[in-house]
Amino acid sequence: MTPRPVMLTDDEARVLREVWPLTLGHIIANPADGIQSLRNSCAHSGGGGWQRWIQGNRIHIEHHEWLPDVLADTCPDWCNDPEFWHTPDGKHINRWRRGDVLFEGSITLPRVQRWAESLPAELRARALVAWRTWPENTRDLDELARIVREALDAHCGAPAELTHYAGQIVGQEALW
């Protein structure tokens, strides 16, 4: 029997959207195992204005402004990324700095687990196939990403505007 749907708050849903798709895919495929793995995973990660960390029983997400700090007229030798390291008018960004916090939220790991357990069994079965590498390797990360997107869109209740990937870029452009 599928447990009753877990109603997430908007903030909780937004936090879920910022968990790596691969991690969330694991949790959908096998809730208890995926949560255990998240709990044991690197405690702190992020970049480009995003931070994710586990503290106690919660996963926290913070999105802050990531502002060009020191600009230079000429590029250093290592510069090979036309997007990230330059302003729209082509100035090289030597350093970024942290600005204001744009979003912060958290959700407890047991709630993430209950949410995953309340998803339709059919979705979990598909996720299991896309996640599994043993006893048969059927891993398909594109399919897993689709399942994660489906789970979030149909069973999360918050707008899809802010995904980790889109957010990083869209959020960044908004700051220029």
The region of 37-45, 55-63, 87-95, 126-134 touching Zn ion under the rule CB under 5 A is 87-95
Which residues 42-81 are close enough to bind Zn ion by CB under 5 A?
75, 79
- Total residues interacting with Zn ion, rule: CB under 5 A: 4
Q: Are 103 and 61 in contact (CB under 8 A)?
A: yes
Span of 9-17, 82-90, 140-148, 168-176 interacting with Zn ion by CB under 5 A = 82-90
Residues in the chain: 176
Q: Does 91 bind Zn ion (CB under 5 A)?
A: no
Whether the Cβ atoms of residue 94 and residue 86 lie closer than 8 Å to each other:
no
Query: How many CA atoms, within 13 angstroms, populate the side-chain half-sphere of residue 114?
Result: 12
Q: Which is nearer to Zn ion, 85 or 131 (CB)?
A: 85
Shortest Å, Cβ 79 to Zn ion: 3
Instruction: Output 73 or 122, the one with its CB closest to Zn ion.
Output: 73
What DSSP string describes the chain? -PPPPP---HHHHHHHHHS-HHHHHHHHHSHHHHHHHHHHS-SEEEETTEEEEEETTEEEEEEEEEEEEEEESS--TT---TTTTB-TT--EEEEEEEEEEEEEEEEEHHHHHHHHHTS-HHHHHHHHHHH--SSS----HHHHHHHHHHHHHHHS-S-TT--HHHHHHHHHHTT-
* Span from 24-32, 54-62, 88-96, 160-168 in contact with Zn ion (CB under 5 A): 88-96
Q: How far is the CB of 88 from Zn ion (least distance, A)?
A: 13
**Closest distance to Zn ion from the beta carbon of 92 (Å):** 4
**Comparison of 48 and 157: residue with beta carbon closer to Zn ion:** 48
Tell which one of 64, 92, 139, 149 touches Zn ion (CB under 5 A).
92
* Contact set with Zn ion (CB under 5 A): 75, 79, 85, 92
